[in-house]
Amino acid sequence: MKKIHFREWTVPSPRYWGVFAVLAAIVGVGLISALYMEHEGHWVTGMNNQIVWGMPHVFAVFLIVAASGALNVATIGTVFGKKPYKPLGRLSGLLAIALLAGGLMVLVLDLGRADRLMVAMTTYNFKSIFAWNIILYNGFFVIVAAYLYTMMEPKAKKYYFSVGVLGGIWRLILTTGTGSIFGFLVARMAYDTAILAPLFIVMSFAFGLAIFLLFLFFAFDQDGREIGGKLLFRLKNTLGVFVAGVALLLLIYHLTKLYGTKYHGVEAFILRDGGVYTVLFWVGQVVVGLLLPIAIIIHPTLSRSKGWIAGASAMVVLGGLAAMYVIIIGGQAYPIEMFPGKTVIASGFFDGVHGQPNYYAPSLPEILLGIGGFALAILATTIGVRMLKFLPADLSDEALDPHAGLKTGN
């Protein structure tokens, strides 16, 4: 195998600064939105006392889940010793840190008392999975930063494997923690199941890899670097396996729920009667997020085109956002069943009168904040690849190990 060289992103300055300016502007708009919501209070959002987590949480949870998945590429290279993935490790780590930062920005700026972040960092209730997540997120930053250091600094190379293993394990725990935020909520019919943790883990694999591929393609296209057909083949197959994994876990989740009679109400809501949530589930989460990408990936000719693979990745991202919307908001829209066997016929506080779902319409500032977090992640990654040697100079088949290139799939 030839030695892999890394080089800064060498697009011409005007183009770099153009990308920079656009992303920075989107981040800026997101921050202004957050400031507006913080100043006015949450009444300017679509969130209310029934739907307490809204659009910011859709984006934040998506980004946090994707962050841990983005690290997957590096883990495959380090822990499982897949050589073609090793040159991608640096970008994988960088993107993971950036996505987590973007997600946390959204999450933190949506807090009712964002000014008390210090309290959240210093006062812990260790029975809370949320508190554990704060520790897991902070640890993730530190470990991935160290991981990147072992990749980029020859003197630290001897720690590369062990730090890589730690990172791999840590991110699995992190996504388990994120999934458990919902899984442990016994009160709500849509959650209350341990299967949300593994579901979130496979989702993280798929979302993270999809964003990784989109960024890789974009960056390589812009400064004319080459990605070999064999590597591409591997990567898209990996994405296919992950997306299929999501489909499987999603199927198990709904089958489990359908089996228990007490969950029939919520299942009927999401799958059949939920209006916008039902549409988002079938069209967004299932068709766009799972079926179409799988179809593209297994298609004999389309799957050879970088453009189509990018398209499939974009669909996985969109489907992922839809999935988050269905899980987070759809899960709250279905009224809590406090009185099994009885119908609420009147309530002074929206208890799902005659089974009516809780109402939520996302407001513009919420959406802008979410997109701002996304933009922050991409902006940070863009700055990173411009300033330091994160991107491999060449990923053509000749540049990579010919033996590794012969093995197809993963």
Kindly state the smallest distance separating residue 183's Cβ from another protein, in Å.
Answer: 12
120 binds another protein (CB under 8 A): yes
Cα–Cα distance for residue pair 330/197, rounded to 1 Å: 18
Q: Under rule CB under 8 A, which residues in 136-195 are in contact with another protein?
A: 181, 184-188
Q: Which tokens sit at 354?
A: 């005659």
122 binds another protein (CB under 8 A): yes
Q: Which of 82, 313, 151, 83 is nearest to 216 (CA)?
A: 313
Among 118, 154, 408, 409, binds another protein (CB under 8 A): 118
Cα–Cα distance for residue pair 352/63, rounded to 1 Å: 31
80 or 124, CB closer to another protein? 124
117 or 142, CB closer to another protein? 117
Among 336, 398, 402, 407, binds another protein (CB under 8 A): 336
264 binds another protein (CB under 8 A): no
24 or 114, CB closer to another protein? 114
Select the span of 19-27, 314-322, 337-345, 384-392 touching another protein (CB under 8 A): 337-345
Kindly state the smallest distance separating residue 194's Cβ from another protein, in Å.
Answer: 16
Q: At what angle do helices 160-183 and 55-70 cross, to 10 degrees?
A: 150
Among 3, 13, 14, 113, binds another protein (CB under 8 A): 113
Give the type of residue at 247: A
Q: What angle do CA 383, 386, 388 make, to 5 degrees?
A: 100
127 or 403, CB closer to another protein? 127
50 binds another protein (CB under 8 A): yes
71 or 136, CB closer to another protein? 136
406 binds another protein (CB under 8 A): no
Q: What angle do CA 207, 254, 313 make, to 5 degrees?
A: 20
Stated as kind and residue range, the H or E segment containing 391 is: strand 391-392
Give the type of residue at 204: S
Stated as kind and residue range, the H or E segment containing 168 is: helix 160-183
332 binds another protein (CB under 8 A): yes
Among 341, 403, 406, 408, binds another protein (CB under 8 A): 341
Q: Which residues does residue 392 pair with via DSSP β-bridges, in sequence order?
A: 6
Cα–Cα distance for residue pair 359/107, rounded to 1 Å: 22
Cα–Cα distance for residue pair 374/397, rounded to 1 Å: 32
344 binds another protein (CB under 8 A): yes
Q: What angle do CA 371, 236, 407 make, to 5 degrees?
A: 150
Q: How far is C-alpha 278 from the chain's CA centre? A: 22
83 binds another protein (CB under 8 A): no
Among 134, 244, 252, 276, binds another protein (CB under 8 A): 134
- Are 170 and 210 spatial neighbours (Cβ–Cβ below 8 Å)? no
- Count the residues of the shown chain that bind another protein, applying the rule CB under 8 A: 52
Residues that bind another protein (CB under 8 A): 40-43, 46-50, 52-53, 111-114, 116-120, 122-125, 127-131, 134, 181, 184-188, 332, 336, 338-339, 341-351, 359
